[in-house]
Every structure is written in C-alpha cells, then in structure tokens.
Amino acid sequence: MSKSPALTILKENVWTNNPIFVQILGICSTLAVTNNMRNTFIMTMGVLLTTGFSSFTISAIKSLIPRKVRMIVQVLIISFYVIIIDILLRAYLPEVSRQLGPYVGLIITNCIIMGRAEGFAQANKPLISFWDGITSGIGYMLVLMALAVIREWLGFGSLFGLRIMPEGFTPWTIMIMAPSAFFLVALLLWFARNLQTAPAKTAGSPPPTGAQPAPGPAPAQAAPKKEQA
C-alpha cells in the first residue's frame, strides 16, 4: 500500500478526498458557468493553475510569513496569480473573458485554494505542495466537467459548442438555469458517496440497513480500486 507519496496524493485528491464531494468547497466561483463546457474548462483550468502555483509559492516562503498576517499574505499571493490569469484571458481569449465576467476574479475567494494553502502547503515542501494543488485542481475539474457535459448536452443539445442532438430535440430550459446545477451536484454527490461507501460496507461488519444494494456495485468497484492501490 505504501506507494510513492505523489500517487497517494493524486488518488486522495481526485477520489477519496475530492474537494467537491467530501468538503463541498469552492463551487461558488464556477457553478455559474457550468452550462457551457468551454467556459467550465477554462475556469477550472484557472483554478487548477492558481491552486498549484499559490501552494508552491506559499510553501516556498512559509517561514518568512509572520503567523499573524498569514491569511492576508496568502490572499494577496492568490490574487497575484488570478490577476495574471485574468490578463492572459483578456489578451488571448477576449470573447471567453467577457462571458466569464466577474467569475475569473472570484477564483480568489475559491475556498479550495485557501484550503490547500492552509491544510497542506503550510506544512510541506514546495514541489509536493505544487503537486497537491494541481491534483486538487484536477479533482475539481473532473467533477465540474461532468456537470457541464450534462448541462450543455441537455440544455443546448451540444458538446463544446458542437451540435450533437438531432434537429427535433427540444432543449431542456431548466438545464440552462440555476436550479439544475444544484440538483446535479446533489445527484453526483449521491452517486459518488454510494460508490465510496459500498466497498467499505462489505468489508466491515454488515450494516443493518442498505445491505441489499451493497452486493451489486461492491465487486465492480473493488476490482479497479485494487489496481489503483
């Protein structure tokens, strides 16, 4: 079980301790743009890069920051990277930058970035902190992209702006609007929690309730998990 720490961190951040499923953190800044796959990809990419680089920087200079003002220093480091991303977007993708509007700036207040800075980068070496930030960003990106696929597919009948549904398809207006995002996050959360708890249930003592659905998904889930670990 004791593989290299990098792999453990990857699995931890993408699946077992995914920032969205386990901690429900950081969805504020990106949920609003998940009805469009391209915008979601660019936003989550921004979060991924900011988390990685700010964790790296904070870890590198952690001994220089006085403890009392470390929160504000962290926020300033994060805003520095977000400003760079904002400028890059404005220069190379002005159309996307206009559509995203204020949400690029809101990456600063994304709780995942602060969470990783406080929870991991404060106590670890720069390179591994960078990796931790990047993998957290990947876990975040995968969940929100899954959400965006469903919302854009049913809401516009397209994926990445390419029409894939036939002419007669009636778009689901609700998928474009805000409530669908809440419902879909909840459903994804439900799905992920069931997958995560199913193997544990069969391994431990049989629980009084929920014994019926456990045998179904459990073997299918146990097999790929063994390969990963």
Partner 1 sequence: MTPLINPAILFFASIFTSNILLSNFLGMCSFISISKDWKSSFGLGLAVTFVLTITAAVSWVVLHFVIAPLGLEYLSFIVFIIVIAAVVQILEMIIDRASPALYMSLGIFLPLITVNCAILGAILFMQIRNYNFIQSVLFAAGSGIGWWLAILLLAAIRERIDKNPVPAGLKGAGITLITIGFMAMAFIGFSGMIAVQ
Q: Is 164 in the site for partner 1 (CB under 8 A)?
A: no
Interface with partner 1 (CB under 8 A), residue total 44
> How far is Cα 107 from Cα 51, in angstroms, rounded to an integer?
10
> How far is Cα 34 from Cα 161, in angstroms, rounded to an integer?
13
> How far is Cα 227 from Cα 204, in angstroms, rounded to an integer?
20
Q: Is 17 in the site for partner 1 (CB under 8 A)?
A: no
Q: Are 148 and 34 in contact (CB under 8 A)?
A: yes
Q: Is 223 in the site for partner 1 (CB under 8 A)?
A: no
Q: Is 185 in the site for partner 1 (CB under 8 A)?
A: yes
> How far is Cα 192 from Cα 198, in angstroms, rounded to an integer?
10
Write phi, then psi, for 66 (nearest 5 degrees). -65, 140
Q: Are 107 and 113 in contact (CB under 8 A)?
A: yes
Q: Is 154 in the site for partner 1 (CB under 8 A)?
A: no
When binding is defined by CB under 8 A, the residue of 3, 5, 16, 28 that contacts partner 1 is 28
State which residue, 65 or 111, has the beta carbon closest to partner 1: 111
Closest CB 186 distance from partner 1, rounded Å:
4
Tokens of 57: 């920087």
> Tokens 């879909």 belong to which residue?
184
162 forms beta bridges with 159
Q: Is 75 in the site for partner 1 (CB under 8 A)?
A: yes
When binding is defined by CB under 8 A, the residue of 60, 65, 93, 106 that contacts partner 1 is 106
Closest CB 117 distance from partner 1, rounded Å:
11
Closest CB 90 distance from partner 1, rounded Å:
9
> How far is Cα 59 from Cα 124, in angstroms, rounded to an integer?
7
Closest CB 25 distance from partner 1, rounded Å:
6
Give the binding site for partner 1 (CB under 8 A). 24-29, 31-32, 71-72, 75-76, 79-80, 82-83, 86-87, 101-102, 105-106, 108-111, 114, 177-183, 185-186, 189-191, 193-194, 197, 209-210
